[in-house]
Structure 1
Amino acid sequence: MTKKIFIFTRYSVLLKTKAWALSKDNDFDQYREKLFSSERMQQHSFFFKELTIPSILYQKNIPESVDFYYIVLTSKHLPNEERIKLESTLSELQRSKIIYIEPEEDLYDVINNFISKEVKVGEIFASIRLDDDDALHPKFIASVSKYMERSFVGHVISHSRGYATLFDFDQQAFISAISINYPKNAQGMAFINSRINEDKYFTDQVNVYEIGNHTIVDKFYPLIIDETINGYIRMCYKNQDTAEKFYIKNSAKNNNVAINRIAKKFPLNLLKSEML
């Protein structure tokens, strides 16, 4: 029976919730204005097109028994010009889907409804989370495929090794990069599940977002740390407070890496341009 892997990306999802950091200190209208600000949309659409989507397109060595799908969750209120850009960016990617969500909808329900339509009774599936400005190693899906077995159902998979890069958006250039080993990281975290019958899954939590805070996931689920590949690139922006602080903090205890070395493992045009 076919095994299925779903990669989910939240792309400027406007929800009436305080769950997202951007919304915590704003009323809904202010939150919406910030979320869809031209500066923020420009940055995210740039990395999404030049880094995230190419990393999905370049996946290789996927077993024939595994189908993988890429799903973008975004807002029905996404500005029209951004909607056009988003649909154009995904046009070359097979088995991709954009789901437009109303602010009043429950994100988990939307994801689970999609999974319920795609997964048959008895099938094993994995859900993977990926931010709209990060990238996955070309063998990432192949690596997750190793765990698409009954014995791993209910497990969380964390590819802890990867890279963090500091990018100056004004200069359109990478400033520096470091190698990191961050178990329970959000980038590419996967959750293995299976459908028992029409109404029941192996765990009550169907998708990877439902399993809660990724930093304490091992308190609730068996966790596998996979260090076989440098599984991801985590983007950090210069002058973006939280991300730059993460980079500076981790720079003190991790090795610097040349961008051209990363480009050999991640065949992405945005990285190759740094080699010229």
Structure 2
Amino acid sequence: MKNQSIFIITRYSVITGGVQIGVGRSADEVKRILFSKERLDCRFALFSKIMAPSLISQKPCNANLHFVILTSDELPVEHREKLDAQLVEIEKKSSFKCTVIPMPAGSSLSKYINSFLDENLVGKINHAYATVRMDDDDGIASSYCARLCGYLERGIVGFPISFAYGFEGMFDEATEKFSNIRHWYKPKIALGLAFTNKYSNGKYLYPDKNIYSLGNHTRIDIKHPVIIDALAPAFIRTVSLHNDSGAFRYHDSLPKAQQGDIDFNEFPFLKCDLPAEVREDGSFIVAKAASSDAAQYKAEVKLLRAKIKN
């Protein structure tokens, strides 16, 4: 048995206070939106076409792999059955052990995650592990788990690890293809954010058992020093009609991905046509370093110029 574990944790139509669609709405209205057939069909399509294949594509690593889904205990039966069938497929084609944890509305994520960890780590000695945040419509590079496992093998525990560089693209459900893919460098992004810890004889080395215990990902460095790893693209973030994390106002101000920018061995599930344009600045490094903050300023300047012109 391997002495490291990686737990990728995903919220799938779970009712919590942190979901963007819940802001300013009643509980009944949130449920109506969250469980609408249109939205659930879209979420499952994204999950099955992007996230699930990205898990299946993971390269071998020296860690026990777990995929944990937190979902509402009110998720319609039809969609729960589709979800369960997809998880069976993931287990057949990968090294992941999959678990679904139903949660009542308003429940504490960390409470359920910590109970799951307690049950799965019991009896282990000096066992390094990592918990990882992932949305159900995003994907990770095939080397993600191997890169994260490298930190565990070197005994680097007690740190959040932010894989800060990846891509953001628009997904068309009809064609199942991405378009308008952009480079995105965003330290402390929630997507793929991990926290490493160690368990031994019923005790955790650090009191924060899981990544969600650290609170808001944008302020995670206030609680722990953060390791920023932007050595290679680690994720693809999806822009679609049913994103739960809010608007993507600055997407078009991020640097465009062009032919040769994406290693499709790392993203074998990513179907897209990339432009063969010459990048304005001529530098891949500059494109990689462009942050969402810079994109925000660029978008705001563009808006101001349009107002002045009119």
Aligning the two structures, in what range does the TM-score lie when normalised by the shorter sequence? 0.7 to 0.9
Match of residue 212 from structure 1: 215
Choose from 74, 78, 89 the match for 1:77.
74
CA RMSD of aligned residues (A): 2.3
Q: Which amino acid aligns with 1:132?
A: D
Match of residue 13 from structure 1: 14
Percent identical residues: 31
Q: Does 1:178 align with 2:182?
A: yes
Q: What does 1:58-137 correspond to in 2, within 5 Å?
A: 58-63=57-62, 66-94=63-91, 95-103=97-105, 105-119=107-121, 120-137=124-141
Whether the 8 Å contact between 2:73 and 2:102 is mirrored in structure 1 is yes
Choose from 188, 192, 195 the match for 1:188.
192
Aligned in 2, Cα 1:212/1:259: closer, same or farther, shift over 3 Å?
A: farther
Q: Which amino acid aligns with 1:41?
A: L
The structure with the largest alpha-carbon Rg is: 2
Match of residue 277 from structure 2: none
Q: Distance in 1 between matches of 2:261 and 2:161?
A: 28
Q: Which amino acid aligns with 2:5?
A: K
The normalised TM-score by structure 2 is 0.79
| 1:133-177 Cα shifts (integer Å, max 9, x gaps) | 000100100000011047421111111110000224466543310
Q: Distance in 1 between matches of 2:76 and 2:59?
A: 34
Match of residue 42 from structure 2: 43
Whether the 8 Å contact between 1:163 and 1:178 is mirrored in structure 2 is yes
SS of 1:272's equivalent in the other structure is coil
The normalised TM-score by structure 1 is 0.88
Choose from 158, 165, 169 the match for 1:165.
169
Q: Distance in 2 between matches of 1:246 and 1:81?
A: 36
Q: Which amino acid aligns with 2:35?
A: F
Q: Distance in 2 between matches of 1:203 and 1:262?
A: 36
Structure 1 residue 100, shift from structure 2 partner: 1.2
Q: Distance in 2 between matches of 1:10 and 1:162?
A: 21
Structure 1 residue 182, shift from structure 2 partner: 1.1
Aligned in 2, Cα 1:173/1:266: closer, same or farther, shift over 3 Å?
A: closer
Q: Distance in 1 between matches of 2:217 and 2:36?
A: 28
Structure 1 residue 107, shift from structure 2 partner: 1.7
Match of residue 205 from structure 2: 202
| 1:157-206 Cα shifts (integer Å, max 9, x gaps) | 111110000224466543310111111111111100112442x4222211
